[in-house]
């Protein structure tokens, strides 16, 4: 097989993954949700596009941060008829999540070698049980998926100039969309470590390094110079841990967080502590077995997951529910948290990497008598046990995803859908030539749409 044929097959496979992931994200939303405008998409981003223009709004801070990709999505949606705005935003956002899935498949090849397990890793962003609830299919929460991509992007070692250029562009988009991506900037060191052609690898690592550092610096400067109006939380360490167990660990297995709450109320926190301890054991053993690059990710992903959740509770009072002492009604009535989504995606990614490492830890030269004692990675009963454990973990993850391709509960299930309102909107604008805007209801707010836009495409 020629090199060109191999590359074409690889590109085709990546495109298929992106399309399949896009379709999965789209289907999981359901028709009402994907046709309903959400929060900032039809609120602040919408208004600032009108007030500042497509270019002027791109790097305009909001809530203390830059939101480059969401604003690009809004700009793209304005290019189509305005009555299809909500559908366009949903479709573009699902497509971008599909691109993230395909990127994970490519970027993880040095760490997750078996392609079937890498395919499981690539599916994490669209098959997390709670993803449709709030983070999928809207621009306001695209930063969640940017964060999940960032550790893989920064640690990736490009082989070609095209790969280095694409990684640099992606780094700008990621860092200028999600400020917490700066947590993973130390992983850029991995991109500089040598392959077979050391000098070339170091040169190819330069674009992504400069892009990531520049984007991260822009976010930090914006955060330091822009007021953030959200009310901060004041959690105790126990509340942070309890909230992580409940919303993050519980949320990676079931979208029905209320069912997790009912189990906690009935049997105590042990129903979450025991599986978490087992999960930690799997991560620790996999880290010991992994090659050094795998070890870096197996530490960075779960630690990043915990830090992201803790930061969310400290920065947002709405995430700080005093989880350790919450009333039973709060636990049984809980719904998925957008703050837990990023932490859950990072944790699930770590679990899949751990399982892949146990199944295939990679080749290693035979141990010399003078070498320190290590776990046997070449064969024998211990190897079989580790591989069996890895496949069991994969089976548990996939089992949690069973039925996830069907539409799940979302914050937009009740509408109101955007497009059906434009029949009355056009009539109102035509009836009164002096009328400047019409009110279009969204979830959970509403949008003032200029009559010039309403009548432009009608």
Q: Please give the C-alpha separations between residue 221 and each of 66, 224, 341, 436, 440, in angstroms, as whole numbers.
A: 10, 5, 26, 38, 36
Confidence of residue 202 (pLDDT cuts 50, 70, 90): low
**Lookup result for tokens 């674009």:** 207
Q: What pLDDT score does 231 carry?
A: 83
Angle between helix 292-315 and helix 338-359 axes, rounded to 10 deg: 170
Confidence of residue 376 (pLDDT cuts 50, 70, 90): very low
What number of CA atoms fall less than 13 Å from residue 135's CA on the CB side?
Answer: 26
Q: Using the 8-state DSSP alphabet, how is residue 370 labeled?
A: T
3-state secondary structure 314-359: HHCHHHCCCHHHCCHHHHHCCCCCHHHHHHHHHHHHHHHHHHHHHH
Mean pLDDT (whole number) for 315-319: 86
How far, in Å, CA of 335 to CA of 403, rounded? 19
Which pair of tokens denotes residue 179? 């400020």
Q: What pLDDT score does 319 carry?
A: 84
Neighbouring-strand partners of residue 257: none
How far, in Å, CA of 113 to CA of 110, rounded? 6
CB 104 within 8 A of CB 152: yes
Please determine, for residue 223, whether its predicted confidence score (pLDDT) is greater than 70: yes
Mean pLDDT (whole number) for 225-251: 91
Contacts of 61 (CB under 8 A, 6+ apart): 222, 226
Neighbouring-strand partners of residue 437: 450
CB 91 within 8 A of CB 34: yes
Confidence of residue 370 (pLDDT cuts 50, 70, 90): very low
How far, in Å, CA of 73 to CA of 53, rounded? 13
Q: What pLDDT score does 187 carry?
A: 97
How far, in Å, CA of 311 to CA of 231, rounded? 13
Q: What pLDDT score does 320 carry?
A: 83
Please determine, for residue 117, whether its predicted confidence score (pLDDT) is greater than 50: yes
CB 242 within 8 A of CB 323: yes
- DSSP states of 56-82: HTTT--BTTB--HHHHHHHHHHHTS-G
CB 57 within 8 A of CB 132: no
Alpha helices in 186-269 (DSSP H): 188-192, 198-225, 237-243, 257-267
pLDDT tens-digit readout, 44-79: 999 999 999 999 999 999 999 999 999 999 999 999
Q: What pLDDT score does 363 carry?
A: 52
Contacts of 324 (CB under 8 A, 6+ apart): 236, 238, 239, 241, 242
Neighbouring-strand partners of residue 438: 449
Backbone angles phi, psi at 322, to 5 degrees: 50, 55
> Which of 291, 252, 281, 249 lies closest to 386 in space, CA to CA?
281
Q: Please give the C-alpha separations between residue 359 and each of 111, 114, 337, 343, 390, in angstroms, as whole numbers.
A: 12, 9, 32, 24, 5
Confidence of residue 195 (pLDDT cuts 50, 70, 90): low
> Which of 374, 292, 333, 297 lies closest to 121 in space, CA to CA?
297
Please determine, for residue 368, whether its predicted confidence score (pLDDT) is greater than 70: no
Mean pLDDT (whole number) for 340-356: 97
> Which of 233, 232, 228 lies closest to 62 in space, CA to CA?
228
Mean pLDDT (whole number) for 438-453: 95
């Amino acid at each position: 097989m020629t090199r060109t044929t191999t590359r074409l097959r690889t590109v085709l496979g990546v495109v298929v993954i992106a399309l399949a992931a896009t379709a999965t994200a789209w289907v999981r939303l359901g028709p009402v949700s994907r046709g309903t405008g959400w929060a900032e998409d039809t609120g602040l981003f919408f208004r600032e596009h009108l007030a500042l223009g497509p270019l002027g709004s791109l790097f305009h801070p909001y809530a203390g941060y830059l939101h480059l990709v969401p604003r690009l999505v809004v700009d793209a949606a304005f290019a189509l008829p305005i009555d299809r705005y909500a559908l366009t935003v949903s479709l573009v956002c699902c497509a971008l999540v599909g691109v993230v899935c395909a990127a994970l498949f490519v970027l993880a090849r040095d760490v997750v070698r078996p392609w079937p397990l890498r395919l499981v890793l690539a599916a994490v962003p669209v098959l997390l049980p709670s993803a449709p609830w709030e983070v999928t299919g809207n621009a306001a929460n695209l930063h969640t998926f940017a964060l999940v991509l960032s550790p893989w992007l920064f640690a990736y070692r490009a082989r070609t100039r095209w790969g280095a250029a694409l990684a640099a562009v992606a780094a700008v988009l990621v860092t200028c969309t999600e400020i917490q991506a700066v947590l993973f900037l130390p992983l850029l060191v991995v991109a500089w470590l040598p392959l077979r052609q050391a000098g070339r690898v170091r040169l190819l690592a330069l674009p992504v390094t400069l892009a990531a550092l520049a984007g991260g610096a822009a976010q930090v400067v914006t955060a330091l110079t822009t007021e953030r109006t959200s009310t901060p939380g004041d959690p105790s360490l126990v509340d942070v841990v309890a909230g992580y167990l409940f919303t993050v660990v519980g949320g990676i297995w079931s979208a029905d967080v209320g069912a997790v709450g009912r189990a906690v109320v009935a049997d105590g926190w042990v129903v979450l502590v025991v599986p978490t301890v087992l999960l930690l054991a799997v991560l620790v053993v996999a880290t010991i077995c992994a090659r050094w690059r795998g070890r870096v990710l197996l530490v960075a992903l779960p630690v990043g997951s915990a830090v992201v959740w803790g930061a969310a509770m400290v920065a947002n009072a709405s995430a700080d529910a005093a989880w350790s002492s919450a009333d039973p009604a709060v636990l049984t009535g809980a719904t998925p948290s957008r703050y837990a989504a990023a932490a859950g995606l990072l944790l699930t990614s770590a679990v899949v990497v751990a399982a892949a490492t146990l199944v295939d830890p990679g080749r290693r030269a035979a141990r010399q008598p003078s070498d320190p004692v290590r776990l046997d990675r070449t064969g024998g009963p211990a190897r079989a046990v580790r591989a069996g454990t890895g496949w069991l973990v994969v089976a548990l993850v996939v089992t949690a995803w069973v039925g996830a391709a069907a539409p799940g509960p979302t914050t937009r299930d009740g509408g109101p859908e955007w497009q059906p309102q434009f029949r009355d909107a056009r009539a109102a604008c035509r009836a009164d030539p002096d009328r400047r805007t019409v009110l279009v209801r969204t979830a959970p707010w509403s949008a003032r749409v200029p009559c010039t836009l309403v009548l432009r495409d009608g």
